[in-house]
């Protein structure tokens, strides 16, 4: 694999939610039963915000410009699951994730990317936090009530 074919170990997590704290979750196609928010690796030359906008569109069909995309200025560093390390350059074991949220007025119809996801659900934030497989995703969803209260005040 050439260097440019490897994923960059910088990614985004975008929690898509409504004012009443319903959260969009996507079920991974490569790991049925693994639910998550919108995620994706940065492309060469992209900022984290540009990555968030691109991943939102690719994975859901949502246009971030139509809603409120918020950069939480929060980063999580975590070990890449061994089953996915082959996507990164040899020796890369950790990823830095930038957290965002997208506030939509109510649950939206989603156009999933069939190669990436099997289906989607809109769930209450507590149920969504319990359903996601990633600790950083669960933590971000649990922060939503406080984050939205600050944003909307």
pLDDT tens digits along 1-57:
445 689 999 999 999 999 999 999 999 999 999 999 999 999 999 999 999 999 999
Q: Which pLDDT score is estimated for 2?
A: 46
First to last CA, the chain: 49
Closest C-alpha among 101, 93, 94 to residue 74: 101
How confident is the model at residue 153, as a pLDDT? Answer: 61
Between CA 12 and CA 74 the distance in angstroms is 10
Nearest to 48 by CA among 98, 102, 101, 103: 98
Sign of the dihedral through C-alpha 137, 140, 145, 149: negative
Closest CA to 110 of 30, 7, 22: 22
Contact 42, 8 (CB under 8 A): yes
Write down the pLDDT at residue 4. 66
Read off the pLDDT of residues 69-103 as tens digits, 9 standing for 90 and up.
999 999 999 999 898 899 999 999 999 999 999 99
**In residues, how long is the chain?**
153
pLDDT for res 5: 85
- In the CATH hierarchy, which fold is given to the domain comprising 3-152? Nucleoside Triphosphate Pyrophosphohydrolase (3.90.79)
Query: Which sequence spans correspond to the domains of the chain?
Result: 3-152
């Amino acid at each position: 694999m050439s260097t440019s074919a490897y994923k960059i170990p910088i990614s985004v997590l975008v929690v898509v939610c409504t004012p009443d704290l319903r959260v969009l979750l996507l079920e991974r196609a490569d790991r049925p039963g693994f639910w998550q928010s919108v995620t994706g690796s940065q492309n060469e030359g992209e900022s984290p915000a540009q990555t968030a906008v691109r991943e939102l569109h690719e994975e859901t069909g949502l246009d971030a410009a139509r809603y409120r995309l918020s950069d939480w200025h929060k980063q999580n560093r975590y070990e890449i699951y061994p089953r996915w390390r082959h996507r990164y350059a040899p020796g890369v074991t950790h990823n830095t994730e930038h957290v965002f949220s997208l506030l939509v007025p109510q649950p939206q119809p989603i156009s999933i990317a069939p190669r990436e996801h099997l289906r989607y659900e809109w769930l209450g934030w507590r149920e969504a936090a319990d359903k996601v497989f990633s600790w950083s995703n669960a933590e971000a969803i649990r922060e939503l009530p406080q984050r939205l209260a600050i944003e909307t005040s």
